[in-house]
Chain A
Amino acid sequence: MTKRAVITGVGIVAPGGVGREAAWDLLSSGRTATRRISLFDPAPFRSRVAAEVDFDPAAAGLTPRQVRRMDRAAQFAVVCAREAVEDSGIAGEPVPPERTAVALGSAVGCTMGLEEEYVVLSDSGRRWLVDHSYGVPHLYGYMVPSTLAVEVAHEVGAEGPVALISTGCTSGLDSIGHGVQLIEEGSADVVIAGATDAPLSPITAACFDAIRATTPNNDDPEHASRPFDRDRDGFVLGEGAAVLVLEEKAAAERRGARIYGEIVGFAGRSNAFHMTGLKPDGREMAEAISSALDQVKLDPTAVDYINAHGSGTKQNDRHETAAFKRSLGEHARQIPVSSIKSMVGHSLGAIGSIEVAACALALDRQVVPPTANLKNPDPDCDLDYVPLVAREHRMDVVLSVGSGFGGFQSAMVLARPGAVPYERS
Chain B
Amino acid sequence: MASTPAGPVITGLGITAPTGIGVEEHWAAVLAGKSGIGRISRFDPSGYPVRLAGEVPGFDSKERVPSRLVQQTDHWTHLALYAAEQALADAGVDPRELPEYDMAVVTSASSGGTEFGQHEMENLYSHDSTWVGAYQSIAWFYAATTGQVSIRHGMRGPCGVICCEQAGGLDAIGQARRLLRRGAALVVSGGTDASLCPYGLTAQLSNGKLSTVTDPERAYVPFDAEAAGHLPGEGGAILILENPQALAGRGRGPGYAQVLGYAAGFDPAPGTGREPALRRTVEHALADAGLAPSDVDVVFADASAVPGEDAAEAQALRAVFGPCGVPVTAPKTLTGRLYGGGAALDVATAALALHHQVVPHTAGTAAPVPSYELDLVLDAPRHIPVGTALVLARGHGGFTAALVLGSVRDAG
Interface residues of A (CB under 8 A from B): 44-46, 97-98, 102, 107-109, 114-115, 118-119, 121-122, 124-126, 128-132, 135-147, 149-150, 153-154, 157-168, 171, 174, 178, 181, 185, 187, 202-203, 205-211, 213, 267-276, 284, 287, 404-408
Contact = CB atoms under 8 A, between A and B. Distances in A.
Given A135-B206, A140-B206, A272-B154, A150 B199 contact: no
Nearest to B136: A207
A158 B201 contact: no
Interface of B: 43-44, 47-49, 72, 100-101, 104-105, 109-112, 114, 117-118, 120-129, 132-134, 136-138, 140-144, 146-148, 150-151, 153-165, 168, 171, 175, 178, 195, 198-208, 264-270, 274, 277, 280, 395-399
23 contacts: A119-B125, A126-B126, A129-B44, A130-B118, A130-B198, A142-B203, A144-B110, A144-B396, A146-B396, A150-B397, A159-B266, A160-B265, A161-B265, A163-B164, A202-B129, A203-B117, A211-B134, A270-B104, A270-B156, A271-B156, A287-B101, A405-B143, A407-B150
B152 to A, nearest CB: 8
Nearest to B142: A166
Nearest to A102: B266
Q: Which of B141, B146, B395, B398 has the most CB of A within 10 A?
A: B141
Contact of B161 (A132, A140, A167, A181): A167
Contact of A207 (B49, B132, B144, B162): B132
Contacts of A165: 160-163
A39 to B, nearest CB: 15
A233 B248 CA distance: 52
Nearest to B340: A144
Given A145-B142, A163-B171, A166-B143, A211 B137 contact: yes
Contact of A406 (B128, B150, B264): B150
Nearest to B138: A275
A158 B277 CA distance: 11
A206 B150 contact: no
Contact of A213 (B137, B148, B198, B398): B137
A205 B144 CA distance: 19
Closest 8 CB pairs of A and B: A125-B125, A406-B147, A150-B397, A125-B126, A268-B158, A166-B142, A139-B206, A206-B129
Contacts of B159: 167, 268, 270, 406, 408
A159 B268 contact: yes
Nearest to B43: A129
Contact of A272 (B155, B161, B264): B155
Contacts of A269: 101, 156-158
B164 A146 contact: yes
Given A164-B164, A209-B132, A121 B266 contact: no
Contacts of A153: 266, 269, 397-398
A275 B148 contact: yes
Contacts, number: 263
A211 B139 CA distance: 13
A28 B129 CA distance: 37
Given A166-B163, A210-B133, A284-B156, A132 B265 contact: no
B214 to A, nearest CB: 17
A236 to B, nearest CB: 16
B118 to A, nearest CB: 7
Contact of A97 (B110, B125, B268): B268
B132 A210 contact: yes
Contacts of A46: 129
A132 B201 contact: yes
Contacts of B125: 118-119, 122, 124-125
A206 B201 CA distance: 25
B30 to A, nearest CB: 27
Contacts of A102: 266
Contact of B147 (A135, A157, A267, A407): A407
Contacts of B195: 143
Contact of B398 (A150, A274, A407): A150
A135 B147 CA distance: 32
Contacts of B100: 272
A257 B101 CA distance: 38
Q: Which of A142, A187, A207 has the most CB of B within 10 A?
A: A207
A145 B399 CA distance: 13
Contacts of A141: 207, 396-397
Nearest to A404: B143
Given A203-B120, A206-B132, A407-B151, A159 B265 contact: yes
Contact of B399 (A118, A135, A146, A287): A146
Nearest to A142: B203
Contact of A154 (B120, B156, B157, B269): B269
B163 A146 contact: yes
Nearest to B114: A143
B156 A168 contact: no
Contacts of A271: 156
Q: Which of B122, B159, B270 has the most CB of A within 10 A?
A: B159
Contact of B264 (A162, A164, A168, A270): A162
B163 A164 contact: yes
Contacts of B144: 275, 406
B60 to A, nearest CB: 21
Q: Which of A46, A108, A166, A208 has the most CB of B within 10 A?
A: A166
A406 B164 contact: no
Contacts of B198: 128-130
A45 B195 CA distance: 29
B101 A107 contact: no
A205 to B, nearest CB: 7
B266 A161 contact: yes
Contacts of A287: 101, 156
